[in-house]
Amino acid sequence: MKLKCASFFAGVGGIDKGFELAGFKTIFANEFDYNASVTYKLNFPNVEFALCDIRGLDANKDIPDFDIMLAGFPCQAFSVAGYRQGFNDEKGRGNLFFELARIIEQKHPKVIFLENVKNLVSHDNGNTFAVISDTLEKLGYFVKSAVLNASNYGNIPQTRERIYLVCFKDKELYKNFDFPKPIKLTKTLKDVIDFETRQDDKFYYTEKCPFYKELVTGVTKSDTCYQWRRVYVRENKSKLCPTLTANMGMGGHNVPLIRMFNGEIRKLTPRECFNLQGFPQDYMLPTTICNGALYKQAGNSVVVTVIQRIAEEIKKAILN
């Protein structure tokens, strides 16, 4: 029988998808963003979904029993790009980790899988991470963590360094578990981005754009990703896509740029952003929500292939 997962801060279910591909089954998900819930439900129609603030969940009444907790908890409070306030974040986001602790205390899952920005380790001189590890240990868990870059661990041409925590209630399982080894990057940008087929006009930059001249001189190769940084074009020299972020959804010029084979310059489409997060081709994007919301969802998500590889190692540890 498949082990059951419950997913918190589920977004569009990137973590859930990785675990599903490794042979686990998500039975419950919680998320409070309506647009993300539309994408989630389209792809996981059989999962019980609670569209509400995690702070309103009663673990005993609202959440069925499960074996594995999945959570990529909000990272703004810990991110260099965010407020750098950690647990004291005035918007309270840093404290959401303690909502997970509250649920763990009541549900005692066998395994806890957490994902966050790499900066979680160094935040507040390591204090934030120490509090998280300490809390998990006090709850009776053995914790292993690693920072993995998607380009080295997920065969995906995106630079995305994230910290993963895998926590076991059983010491033997903990000893059995190791993070996956690096793998060769064989996928190129051309495998996930279409440099040839004409896309909708709205993705293209034209002479109407006030910095079009700079784009034309800066965006020169059709095998590379670029970013417009206020006054200049930044080229990614390693032929990778830079880390996709949720602020792609805020309009402006935050979505990475490419040069088509015919010389036209455009931003990536939402589908290409999901491809760069390692989502399989059969993952569906709803047509009822705007592209801004889809960009945000992609940027907030995870690289599915990295999650799948970690989940496969968790499975091995359990079957051992």
Catalytic residues: 75
192 is a contact residue toward ligand SAM (CB under 6 A): no
Query: Do 278 and 304 touch, CB atoms closer than 8 A?
Result: yes
How far apart CA 14 and CA 19 sit, in angstroms, is 9
Query: For residues 275 and 182, what is the distance between their CA atoms, to the nearest angstrom?
Result: 20
Q: Is 156 in the site for ligand SAM (CB under 6 A)?
A: no
Q: Which of 32, 142, 174, 204 binds ligand SAM (CB under 6 A)?
A: 32
270 touches ligand SAM (CB under 6 A): no
Residue of 3, 69, 77, 96 interacting with ligand SAM (CB under 6 A): 96
| Interface residue with ligand SAM, options 6, 27, 29, 36 (CB under 6 A) | 36
Smaller CB distance to ligand SAM: residue 258 or 311? 311
Interface with ligand SAM in residues 172-191 (CB under 6 A): none
- Cross-strand bridge partners of residue 259: 265
* By the rule CB under 6 A, 89 interacts with ligand SAM: no
Binds ligand SAM (CB under 6 A): choice among 20, 31, 67, 89: 31
Q: Is 128 in the site for ligand SAM (CB under 6 A)?
A: no
Q: Does 215 bind ligand SAM (CB under 6 A)?
A: no
Closest separation in Å from C-beta 297 to ligand SAM: 6
Our CA dihedral for 11, 15, 21, 24, rounded to 10 degrees, sits at -100
DSSP state of 307: H
**Closest by alpha carbon to 139, among 115, 109, 114, 164?**
109
Residue 41: CB atoms within 10 A of its CB come to: 18
Least Cβ distance, residue 33 to ligand SAM (angstroms):
4
Torsion sign over Cα 10, 12, 18, 19? positive
Closer to ligand SAM by CB, 55 or 229: give it.
55
Residues 6+ apart with CB under 8 A from 311: 18, 19, 21, 22, 23, 24, 113
For the bound state, the minimum distance from the C-beta of residue 251 to ligand SAM, rounded and expressed in Å, comes to 18
**How far from 187 is each of 5, 27, 149, 269, 308, CA to CA, in Å?**
30, 32, 15, 18, 17
**Count of chain residues binding ligand SAM (CB under 6 A):** 22
Asked if 300 is part of the footprint of ligand SAM (rule: CB under 6 A), the reply reads yes
Does 245 participate in binding ligand SAM (rule CB under 6 A)?
Answer: no
Q: Is 54 a binder of ligand SAM (CB under 6 A)?
A: yes
By CB under 6 A, name the one of 5, 12, 241, 248 that touches ligand SAM: 12
**All residues at 6 or more sequence positions from 206 whose CB lies less than 8 Å from its CB, including other chains:** 212
The residue number with the shortest CB distance to ligand SAM is 11
Report whether 100 contacts 71 (CB < 8 A): yes
Q: With CB under 6 A as the contact rule, which of the stretches 68-76, 79-87, 153-161, 310-318 interacts with ligand SAM?
A: 68-76
Element (H, E) at 69: strand 68-71
Sheet harboring 25-31: ordered strands across?
48-51, 25-31, 4-8, 68-71, 111-117, 161-168, 142-149
Give the integer Cα–Cα distance in Å for 197 and 60. Answer: 51
Instruction: Determine which residue in the list 9, 113, 129, 177 makes contact with ligand SAM, applying CB under 6 A.
Output: 9
By the rule CB under 6 A, 75 interacts with ligand SAM: yes
Q: Least CB distance from residue 13 to ligand SAM, whole Å?
A: 6
User: Which one, 10 or 136, has the nearer CB to ligand SAM?
Assistant: 10
Site for ligand SAM, rule CB under 6 A: 9-15, 30-33, 36, 53-55, 72, 74-75, 96, 300-302
